[in-house]
């Protein structure tokens, strides 16, 4: 089902992208390759998390994260193929395993899994910003904006779970000297 934001986004894309397509430059290609690698590594992490956790909320988070990464990976791979770029080699998928068979000292905790997903979102967001700053072609810039927006929305739901469970990592608060307590 299409949402209103997606409809507006698709309309804006048709209005903005009227310039002739030049060849991708090396910075655009490097950003695309790097982001595809980030997505591939995130997918393997999510598979490990699904093999590790028995918590339903964490499983739901991982399934949603996996869907998002697979969707972005497929769209970016299609774009690369259309542009004649070779795809980077991806890592092998992790085999499905039973969470209760993993020794406690070895398996990730639900806190570690959820914060790992949060870190992957932050990394992906930074890579989108870098890619967008290097994009010359409008279509490439729109791809980065779309991916960043999706990661931003997913990050908000992830933060809600982290806060709800008390897993949100907050640095110490800064109180400048001389301010009243």
Question: Comparing C-alpha atoms, which of 26, 124, 133, 17 is closest to residue 68?
Answer: 124
pLDDT(132) > 80: yes
The CATH number assigned to the domain with range 23-90+106-165 reads: 1.20.1260.10
CA distance 19 to 27: 19
The pLDDT confidence band at residue 75, using thresholds 50, 70 and 90, is very high
pTM greater than the 0.75 cutoff: yes
- Pair of tokens at residue 92: 């092998």
pLDDT of residue 29: 94
Q: At what angle do helices 138-165 and 26-52 cross, to 10 degrees?
A: 30
CA 89 remoteness from chain centre: 19
pLDDT(1) > 80: no
């Amino acid at each position: 089902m299409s949402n209103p934001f997606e409809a507006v986004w698709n309309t804006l894309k048709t209005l903005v992208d009227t310039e002739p397509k030049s060849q991708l430059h090396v910075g655009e290609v490097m950003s695309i390759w790097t982001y595809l690698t980030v997505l591939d590594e995130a997918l393997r992490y999510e598979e490990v998390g699904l093999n590790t956790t028995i918590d339903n909320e964490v499983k739901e988070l991982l399934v949603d994260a996996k869907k998002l990464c697979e969707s972005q990976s497929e769209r970016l791979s299609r774009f690369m193929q259309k542009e004649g770029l070779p795809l980077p080699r991806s890592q092998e998928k992790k085999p499905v395993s039973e969470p209760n068979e993993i020794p406690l000292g070895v398996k990730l905790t639900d806190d570690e899994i959820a914060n790992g997903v949060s870190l992957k979102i932050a990394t992906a967001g930074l890579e989108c910003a870098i890619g967008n700053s290097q994009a010359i072609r409008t279509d490439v810039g729109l791809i980065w904006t779309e991916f960043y927006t999706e990661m931003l929305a997913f990050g908000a739901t992830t933060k809600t779970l982290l806060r709800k469970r008390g897993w949100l990592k907050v640095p110490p608060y800064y109180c400048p000297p001389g301010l009243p307590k």
